[in-house]
Structure 1
């Protein structure tokens, strides 16, 4: 699955898990969690893509450690990470027991394919609905310092796509419009990147506003309130 689907499905799964656990996982972490297993691309050729970071033997212990360390937030974040294996196994296969076995499992519905395009673009639409419902959309419409963190999944979305294309000798422009299914997914990537960029701009506005209009410092030794006296 492409990064559009991974980031959107991880947002949906981790945010809904967080709702059940009564914790609010930040939007940037919800988007980022599903992209993390593809960070192996940053470490080529030391790590081969789609091997170590796509094995349940690696990701499950990491998820358990995160859940123990960060509690309910860690559980919600971990479901986003594990969603990567689920979505990849739907449209392709994953080396679930790597490095002890090269056996690959999955439905292998195809990528690109009608199934993959439906899963990825459908997830984007679902994200828009959920973000409106849980008020995350406000990070795109109002200055908010927390919105600046959206630069992390935005950076990952762009750089991983460029690195993957470069490593495989693929022209992103020609690849994106080579088939109708890929064109739709490319448009979806552009929409998601645009929304994340909008959030980053709102975060930047909030930081600049704070720098221009800093809050007055509180006095170090405030005058104590007078002690009430009792009448004889």
Structure 2
């Protein structure tokens, strides 16, 4: 699955879990959790993509530590991370026992495929609905410093996409619009990045206002 689906399904799983266990997980963390397994791309060629960070043997102990340490927040974040493996096993395969075994498990519906496109675009739609219902939409529509953190998932999605394309000699622009399914997913990525970018702008605006307020309050020209 592409990063659009990973980040969006992670948001859905993390937010729903957080609500069930009565903890608040910030939007940037909910989006980032599902992207983390693809951080192995940053460490190529030291770590091959789709190996250690896609293994249940590696991720489950890490998630267990997070849950013990951070309780409900750790659970919500961990399920967002594990949603990455679920998604990859639906459209492709994962190595659940790596490095003990190279065994691959998955349904392999295809990537790209109509099923993958439906899952990715559908996940984006769910994110928009959930963000409206839980109030996260205010990170984009209102000036608040917390919106600055949206730069983390935004930069992650953009840089990982560019690095993956570069490492595999993929002509990104041509590939992105080579099929109808990919065109929809590409547009979905653009929508997600655009929304996150707007949120970051709101965060920058809030930070600028906060920096100006102390100086204005101390100015002799302000009554």
Normalising by the smaller structure, the TM-score range is: over 0.9
Q: Which has the higher helix share?
A: 2
Q: In the TM superposition, what is the alpha-carbon distance from 1:171 to its structure 2 partner?
A: 1.1
Pair 1:89 & 2:89 matched: yes
Pair 1:212 & 2:178 matched: no
Q: CA RMSD in A?
A: 1.0
Post-superposition Cα deviations, 1:165-222, rounded to whole Å, max 9, x if no partner, equal 00000111000011110000000000000000011000001000000113969xxxxx
Q: Could you say which residue in structure 2 is the equivalent of 1:17?
A: 17
Q: In the TM superposition, what is the alpha-carbon distance from 1:71 to its structure 2 partner?
A: 1.2
Q: Could you say which residue in structure 2 is the equivalent of 1:35?
A: 35
Unaligned runs of 5+ in 2: 219-223
- Aligned partners of 2:80 and 2:74: how far apart in 1? 10
- Aligned partners of 1:110 and 1:38: how far apart in 2? 18
- Aligned partners of 1:61 and 1:116: how far apart in 2? 29
Q: Could you say which residue in structure 1 is the equivalent of 2:54?
A: 54
- With the length of structure 1 as denominator, give the TM-score of the two structures: 0.92
Q: How does 1:1-232 map to 2 (within 5 A)?
A: 1-214=1-214
Post-superposition Cα deviations, 1:112-154, rounded to whole Å, max 9, x if no partner, equal 0000000000000010000000000000000111110000000
Give the number of aligned pairs: 217
Q: In the TM superposition, what is the alpha-carbon distance from 1:56 to its structure 2 partner?
A: 0.3
Post-superposition Cα deviations, 1:75-134, rounded to whole Å, max 9, x if no partner, equal 100000000000000000000000000000010000000000000000000100000000
Structure 1 stretches of 4+ moved >4 Å: none
Kindly name which structure, 1 or 2, has the bigger radius of gyration based on alpha carbons.
Answer: 1
Q: Could you say which residue in structure 2 is the equivalent of 1:229?
A: none
SS of structure 2 residue aligned to 1:14: helix
Post-superposition Cα deviations, 1:26-76, rounded to whole Å, max 9, x if no partner, equal 000000000000000000000000000000000100101111111111110
- Aligned partners of 1:184 and 1:139: how far apart in 2? 25
SS of structure 1 residue aligned to 2:103: coil
- Aligned partners of 2:158 and 2:187: how far apart in 1? 14
- With the length of structure 2 as denominator, give the TM-score of the two structures: 0.96
- Aligned partners of 1:214 and 1:65: how far apart in 2? 42
- Aligned partners of 2:102 and 2:214: how far apart in 1? 57
